[in-house]
Structure 1
Amino acid sequence: MLSFILTALLAFSPAKAPVAAPAGSLEPCRIFGSVYLETDPSRRSYCFGTVYVEPEEAFASLVVFKESNKLFADKAGLWADAPNREFADYVLFVTPDRGKADFAIHYTKVRSFAGCRN
């Protein structure tokens, strides 16, 4: 009897799977903290978004400065490299095709240049 009740409860309240952000609704200006950049195409569906690393700053949506400590990565564009997926605040897939990316980033060596490009 108990197994019947548990089965009925599971049938009426299914487990919720993680949902990725819909295309076009990803805001790069809200991404900061520890970030892991995924390059394996088979794990693309597990990522928060898709990013293209732009060689020119003028065409990037977000200018990123790599922080050495996660505690200092507290504003848009300030990212700390996560050692693996499990320790990251955001996991982003890096694509070599700009047309498939949600947004583009450019790395800078100057902390004050980091931030969102409006």
Structure 2
Amino acid sequence: MHLLFIFWIALLPMFNSPAAAPAAAGETRFGRDYCDIYGSVYLERDPKYKNTASRIVFLNEEEAFANMVVYRENNKLFADGRAIWFVTPTKAFADHILYVTDQRHQADFTVYFTDVRSSATCRD
């Protein structure tokens, strides 16, 4: 009887540990790391090179539904803050390569480009 009690005490932590809740679809791979994207960004549109991109993005036409409001900087040196991108025409000079999709449900996050630098933000 004493041995059965000790065995039960030893197994108790396995049964009391809460099961890990499944993460949301867009957060399983990256979480909210997309908020850390800034600097030079290359927007890949060719489906052949989709696997070379670090993330999949959908370009939103409405600011209200976007995960990130991005300011497009004209100089790479000034793209030094959260949600401030210098969109480079050359993949070799990019800090981040993002694949642009036409299907919102396939995207890791959505982006809206603004003309006002102070409006650039990442939403939770």
The answer to whether TM tops 0.5 is yes
What is the identity percentage for the equivalent residue pairs of Structure 1 and Structure 2? 45
Provide the residue aligned with 2:116 in structure 1.
Answer: 110
Q: Which runs of 4+ in 1 moved over 2 A?
A: 22-26
Number of residue pairs aligned between Structure 1 and Structure 2: 97
Give the AA of the match of 2:84.
L
Q: Report deviation, 1:116.
A: 0.7
- In the alignment, the residues of structure 2 paired with residue 85 and residue 26 of structure 1 have an alpha-carbon distance, to the nearest angstrom, of 24
**Taking structure 2 as the reference length, what is the TM-score of the superposition?**
0.74
- In the alignment, the residues of structure 2 paired with residue 34 and residue 68 of structure 1 have an alpha-carbon distance, to the nearest angstrom, of 10
Unmatched runs of 5 consecutive residues or more in structure 2: 1-27
Provide the residue aligned with 1:80 in structure 2.
Answer: 86
- In the alignment, the residues of structure 2 paired with residue 40 and residue 78 of structure 1 have an alpha-carbon distance, to the nearest angstrom, of 24
- In the alignment, the residues of structure 2 paired with residue 43 and residue 25 of structure 1 have an alpha-carbon distance, to the nearest angstrom, of 23
Secondary structure of residue in 1 paired with 2:41: strand
| Structure 2 residue 29 is the aligned partner of structure 1 residue 36 | no
Decide whether the 8 Å contact of 1:33 with 1:79 is kept in 2.
Answer: yes
**Taking structure 1 as the reference length, what is the TM-score of the superposition?**
0.78
Provide the residue aligned with 2:17 in structure 1.
Answer: none
- RMSD after superposition: 1.2
- In the alignment, the residues of structure 2 paired with residue 62 and residue 84 of structure 1 have an alpha-carbon distance, to the nearest angstrom, of 23
Q: Report deviation, 1:26.
A: 5.3
Question: For residues 90-109 of structure 1, what are the structure 2 equivalents within 5 Å?
Answer: 90-109=96-115
Residue by residue over 1:77-112, the C-alpha shift from the partner in whole angstroms, topping out at 9 and shown as x without a partner, is 100011211100000000000000000000001110
| Structure 2 residue 62 is the aligned partner of structure 1 residue 56 | yes
- In the alignment, the residues of structure 2 paired with residue 24 and residue 73 of structure 1 have an alpha-carbon distance, to the nearest angstrom, of 22
Give the AA of the match of 1:32.
Y
Give the AA of the match of 1:102.
D
- In the alignment, the residues of structure 2 paired with residue 23 and residue 79 of structure 1 have an alpha-carbon distance, to the nearest angstrom, of 22
- In the alignment, the residues of structure 1 paired with residue 34 and residue 94 of structure 2 have an alpha-carbon distance, to the nearest angstrom, of 16
Give the AA of the match of 1:78.
I
